[in-house]
Amino acid sequence: MRWSGVGIDDWWRNEQFWVIGGVSAHLFAVFQGLLKVLAGIDTNFTVTSKASDDEDFSELYTFKWTTLLIPPTTLLILNLIGVVAGVSNAINNGYESWGPLFGRLFFAFWVIVHLYPFLKGLVGRHNRTPTIIIVWSILLASIFSLLWVRIDPFLPKSDGPLLEECGLDCN
C-alpha cells in the first residue's frame, strides 16, 4: 500500500463498496444486459432536470424502494443465519466440529464485514426500511437455505453401492 499512496482505510472502503456494488448494481446490470441480448427487452429511464419547476416528475425523486437492496440484504441474512446455525451446530456436536466451523465462520464474517456499510445504512434508517425489502430478502434467504440443506454439499454422498460393482441394475 505504501508504493501506491493509498492508505489502509481508503483501500478497505474501496473493497467494501466493490462488494456492495457487485451484489447489487453490477448484478442487475448483467441481468439487464442478458434481457436485452436474449429477449430483446430494453430498459429505459427518464432523465429530467432537478431544477425544473414542474411537479410532473416530483414522484421520480421520492425514494420508495428498489430491487437493488434485495440481494445484499439477502446475502447478509444468509450469512447471519449461517453464523448462528454453525455455532449452534458446533455446540451441539462437540469438539470435533469446531475445526471445520472456523473456516466457514471466517468467510461468513468476511462477507458481513464487507457489507457492513450497507447494513449500517439499512438499519440506521430507524424503521424507514421498506417492509417489502425485508419480506423478499427473508423469502429468498429461506429458499436458498432450504436448497442448501437439501443439497448438503459437506456430507459424503457414498451411502449406496458403487456403479462399478453392480452395473446399472443395482437394488
Cβ–Cβ < 8 Å for 89, 102: no
In a domain, 156, yes or no: no
pLDDT per position as a tens digit, 18-76: 887 778 777 777 777 777 888 877 766 555 555 555 555 555 555 556 777 888 889 99
Q: Is the pLDDT of residue 141 over 60?
A: yes
Longest dimension (CA), the chain: 80
Rg (CA), the chain: 23
How far, in Å, CA of 27 to CA of 75, rounded?
13
In a domain, 138, yes or no: yes
In a domain, 60, yes or no: no
Task: Point out the least confidently predicted range of 28-32, 74-78, 137-141, 162-166.
Answer: 162-166
In a domain, 160, yes or no: no
pLDDT for 167:
59
Mean pLDDT of the region 2-13? 80
For residue 71, give the 3-state DSSP assignment. Answer: helix
pLDDT per position as a tens digit, 61-119: 555 567 778 888 899 999 999 899 888 888 888 777 788 788 889 989 998 998 888 88
Q: Which domain holds residue 110?
A: 8-44+65-151
In a domain, 157, yes or no: no
In a domain, 93, yes or no: yes
Q: pLDDT band at 140, cuts 50/70/90?
A: very high
pLDDT for 109:
92
Between 137 and 97, whose confidence is greater?
Answer: 137
Give me 155's grid cell.
456430507
The answer, as to whether pTM is greater than 0.85, is: no
In a domain, 55, yes or no: no
Burial classification of residue 115, based on how many CB atoms lie within 10 Å of its CB (0-12 exposed, 13-18 middle, 19 or more buried): buried
CA distances 46 to 35, 50, 60, 95, 167, Å, are: 19, 12, 9, 59, 63
Number of separate domains in the chain: 1
In a domain, 168, yes or no: no
pLDDT for 51:
56
pLDDT for 148:
82
